[in-house]
């Protein structure tokens, strides 16, 4: 069954630097017409507090791949890839358009609803794009 209600998943990305200045906290929202990636640096003694919240809006066409990683029968991580690495360029943990997010405990039930939703939404947008191209070719 495909749900059309928004799904919000809270996540954490561990720091990649030795002083843990780049630990990221955030929320990934799968909305009816786009994906909303809200994130901020967690903050620590060295940075003087929490970073400001930043939001990246992505269409489902820009989302290339979403993989749910299980460990001990529970979904623990999401591997999130976008088609253009520049879209995630300002996120310190992004590697060529790929983020590996650890799922927060409060989102364990929500992530179960994610199966199939991304592929369904992406196929709808790809079909719309093809119809637009066909319509423009007919007009010429």
CA distance 102 to 115: 17
The alpha carbon of residue 32 and the mean position of all alpha carbons in its chain are separated, in whole angstroms, by: 14
SS3 75: strand
Each residue of 48-106: pLDDT tens digit? 556 788 999 998 878 888 888 888 877 788 889 998 989 888 888 888 889 888 888 87
> What's the CATH architecture for 7-139?
Roll (2.30)
H/E stretch holding 66: strand 63-71
pTM of the model: 0.72
């Amino acid at each position: 069954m495909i749900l059309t209600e928004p799904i919000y998943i809270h996540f954490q990305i561990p720091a990649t630097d030795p002083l843990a200045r780049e630990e990221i906290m955030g929320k990934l929202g799968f909305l009816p017409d786009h994906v909303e990636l809200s994130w901020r640096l967690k903050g620590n003694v060295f940075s003087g507090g929490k970073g400001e919240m930043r939001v990246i809006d992505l269409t489902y066409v820009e989302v290339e791949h979403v993989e749910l990683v299980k460990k001990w029968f529970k979904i623990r991580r999401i591997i999130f890839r976008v088609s253009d690495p520049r879209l995630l360029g300002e996120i310190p943990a992004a590697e060529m358009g790929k983020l590996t997010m650890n799922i927060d405990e409060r989102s364990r039930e929500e992530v179960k609803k994610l199966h199939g939703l991304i592929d369904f939404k992406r196929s709808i947008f790809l079909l719309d794009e093809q119809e637009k191209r066909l319509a423009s070719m007919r007009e010429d």
